[in-house]
Structure 1
């Protein structure tokens, strides 16, 4: 159908209408344009890119082309063995659907590369989060976009949502830069990065990396392919005729409009992380204000898809991302993350009784899930990160050296400091004898080279999170040098993880498992294919893009042609 040619009862009609502008939306649009179909992407906020643009932009893609180019061996069989081992069978996650993911994800990457989207391996060492499980990979299944010059977008540059790292640096290199003081090799890398930044500015380029680079490249590819994109155009209703979703009702420039969808509607509108009422109903104890997501992540389409017969699943789940609320955090573009705090040597996490209760490395989703579960038995929100002067000298809190902010943070009541562990315990209102025993037990494990309580440092991923220059174990270090410090950590998130249940073709299904004709969904608008677990970096973005790809192929009748 020609773009804009209206079906009866509609103001205009497209073949494929997409709600939300995340990466999965653009993938689906490129598939449809490859098939010669007209596409409209609708974004309710003024900016394109959603939460993906604010993120690391990492995709977890088993058996991808970049692994093969590096001479590594991976397979569909290994990937499904891994996922079946770590993921639960839940409404949105089954063996069939997980298998569809591991088969289609590398095809999706190949398709994007063929479309001119420049991608690369995220790192040669970014292990799966449960790498010890059969089928797990201790190197890396990650894929990211190469740094992107936003000037290539022309007038659309101002409509791309900002990322957290606007510079010409590969994400893998950026992750090494905090260790520059410990390595001449990284110092040289730092110099090269600085040169590229200066050169880019002299040439008038506006580089970004990570999630904003992925979304910038996807936006450019979509625009070049002739996709129509409208911002500030919220979808108010899915239009159903004779049991089939045939279009959407929107409000654009203050006016209501009915837009037909000849082949179907794809919902990729994010989660409900900014909707406190939905959080209170499904995720009690969590806070919208602690989330890293974009402001449009309010769950409107969750409610709408359920209204017309879709089934919601896994609504109690979120992609937890530990967070620390530094003074002034409310004005920050990104809520200060805490993932890299308690996973480093010479730091641990304790609850409000002064007891350590988890492996502080590992998956951020599991970290926050464990914190919330602990809080049901013992007050643990917030929990306390405990570290010493060695840590304060070597590492950062919210990307800042403690020595630079100590007085300001102490005055604000955020940072607690004492010359003894007992004094620190009194400052955070926990029993001094308990905290002292906790720290002494930790130091004993460090001396043995083994965390006997929670096995921190046993996984390759724990080692990746730690300090590669801390030997013999990158994740273990004593807490024994005064002064001692404590800061609060809360269970933030990078999105919710529940939504409508979809099948292996990306179709929204009813309670009886039958598909709702004309309606597809992907991303965190759906109940995750990963079944409440985060198997590796990019386990939200990878599926969002893959099932956007799968859904468009099905709606266009392409089968396995791409």
Structure 2
């Protein structure tokens, strides 16, 4: 039996059929897994991260990089702290009788402490979301800002050779591979053709990106979740974490008293990893596990395909491993997936991309309709709600499908799904069928298979009120979140404009997700529980392998990554035998070759 090899970079696992020892084995490399790995290494433990694919970063690398953390250190430093009863009242209203006092209390207490730890001891840093509101602005306790933080941009060159092992963002969400951050960065790109200062800003960004492509063959100004994954990966390497790519865990090892490691497949063969202190499962949930999707998502059982934007390697490995040890996957959530509307994007290589529609739906001049031609939702509301209402509006026995409809002005100003705004050409999207175009609303309806009379009536009614900035059907633009999603330059309502300028366009949208909510039941320290509610010794879960503390609800942006990093951190504390709050530096044990 070999001790864990000297670490700090991506390394080759042991030879076939051998075994290695470590203190902690982390299975998966998204925010939950890497947070656990970084914190455990900081506390002096030897850590191996076994990643199923050749790329590190998991779903985090695809994400917006936001964390929902009320009373974060950034808010306190700005004098924007709040009574914890505010966030609790908001969650009680949204979660209803699924509100878990212990888990919510534990999270609200530990999350700011987790942020403080990473800010002080790693290269993981965040920027405050001072103007980012909670999703449901009419609910008691809803926040209008300062409850969120976003990963700070990162220079990919600081990753060195590890940059080649970082999962890139979803290609269709980038501009030629260049990520665009939410907030000021995105606003500059959307207004580049209307503002000289924005045009100059975008020109500098594009020229820098062109230089990066020339010298590095990929973007080096990393933003959003890609920046967060990069910062965590850099921190893991700095703290001596051993990183194994192409190393899926196949089964857990138990000695009868608890979990003592896992059997891992590697390019060199099968390796038994003896983890003397614990195993952390963080494999990204089950967004591409057909069997569990069928069991837990009613619309899949009803015949609608679920098209998640999460990495396709996320097939429920961690949940199956936990179940094999006596763990229990929750079925008590209101929704088992973090829904998001998705359009299917044909790619030149014959594959199909999945574009999550998170941004453009809130801009003025767009509506969403079903095959009847009728609207069914506040288009600019939370993405989870969009899919929930689309499924509810679908007749029994029919697949859930909707269409986003806009005019030429909207398309060139804001883009539509994978179609970028002016001056980027969009002919290829017409040629491959992703974007549908017609000279009239009636003709557009016929091309899409929408009831022509129904769509014509809907657009006419919508336009009559939209001219005045009103939406009597769904009241768009009446909450802080809706208005933040709109265009502040548009009056009188930043979220509403008539659809009048031909030609008209449509993109087909289907139910999808950013990941899954249903996961393994744990306690407040991320210890996996058996069917009796007793912790299974040596087994922990974080990220989307852990059951969502929001119980299948989506109160605000960042309610996935916030708990992922927090419970990864808490798992590391528990494994290291440290009391909550004991985060001062601890000397690492020397790795033995």
TM over 0.5: yes
Query: Residues 140-289 of structure 1 correspond to what in structure 2 (within 5 A)?
Result: 140-164=146-170, 171-176=182-187, 177-191=189-203, 193-194=205-206, 197=209, 206-286=220-300
- Out of 336-345 and 357-366, give the one that drifted further: 336-345
Residue in structure 2 matching 1:37, options 24, 40, 45: 45
* Contact 2:138–2:479 (CA under 8 A) maintained in structure 1: yes
SS of the residue aligned with 1:487? strand
- Tell me the residue number matched to 1:292: 309
* Contact 2:279–2:539 (CA under 8 A) maintained in structure 1: yes
- Structure 1 residue runs of 5 or longer lacking an equivalent are none
SS of the residue aligned with 1:130? coil
SS of the residue aligned with 1:528? coil
Q: C-alpha displacement at 1:418, in angstroms?
A: 3.5
Q: C-alpha displacement at 1:10, in angstroms?
A: 8.9
Query: Residues 353-368 of structure 1 correspond to what in structure 2 (within 5 A)?
Result: 353-368=372-387
SS of the residue aligned with 1:324? strand
CA distance in 1, matches of 2:199, 2:432: 34
162 and 415 in structure 1: CA distance in 2 versus 1, 3 angstrom threshold: closer
Cα shift readout 1:388-414 (whole Å, capped 9, x = no counterpart)? 233233221214248976665455444
* Contact 1:326–1:414 (CA under 8 A) maintained in structure 2: yes
* Contact 1:290–1:491 (CA under 8 A) maintained in structure 2: yes
CA distance in 1, matches of 2:483, 2:513: 23
CA distance in 1, matches of 2:430, 2:31: 41
SS of the residue aligned with 1:59? strand
- Tell me the residue number matched to 2:586: none
TM-score normalised by length of structure 1: 0.90
Residue in structure 2 matching 1:489, options 475, 489, 509: 509
456 and 292 in structure 1: CA distance in 2 versus 1, 3 angstrom threshold: same
SS of the residue aligned with 1:232? coil
* Contact 2:124–2:235 (CA under 8 A) maintained in structure 1: no
State whether structure 2 residue 320 is matched by structure 1 residue 306: no
* Contact 1:276–1:288 (CA under 8 A) maintained in structure 2: no
State whether structure 2 residue 487 is matched by structure 1 residue 467: yes
Q: C-alpha displacement at 1:525, in angstroms?
A: 0.8
Instruction: Count how many residue pairs are aligned between Structure 1 and Structure 2.
Output: 557
- Tell me the residue number matched to 1:369: 388
Q: C-alpha displacement at 1:171, in angstroms?
A: 4.5
Q: C-alpha displacement at 1:379, in angstroms?
A: 4.9
402 and 432 in structure 1: CA distance in 2 versus 1, 3 angstrom threshold: farther
SS of the residue aligned with 2:362? coil
State whether structure 2 residue 69 is matched by structure 1 residue 68: no
231 and 424 in structure 1: CA distance in 2 versus 1, 3 angstrom threshold: closer
CA distance in 2, matches of 1:86, 1:539: 13
- Structure 2 residue runs of 5 or longer lacking an equivalent are 6-16, 584-593
163 and 471 in structure 1: CA distance in 2 versus 1, 3 angstrom threshold: same
- Tell me the residue number matched to 2:130: 124
Q: C-alpha displacement at 1:85, in angstroms?
A: 1.8
* Contact 1:24–1:522 (CA under 8 A) maintained in structure 2: yes
Residue in structure 2 matching 1:102, options 73, 97, 108: 108
- Tell me the residue number matched to 2:523: 503
Cα shift readout 1:516-549 (whole Å, capped 9, x = no counterpart)? 2211101111221111112222221111100011
* Contact 1:32–1:553 (CA under 8 A) maintained in structure 2: yes
- Tell me the residue number matched to 1:561: 582
Q: C-alpha displacement at 1:47, in angstroms?
A: 1.4
Cα shift readout 1:333-388 (whole Å, capped 9, x = no counterpart)? 85223333432211101111111111111211121122122224595722111222
CA distance in 1, matches of 2:163, 2:361: 37
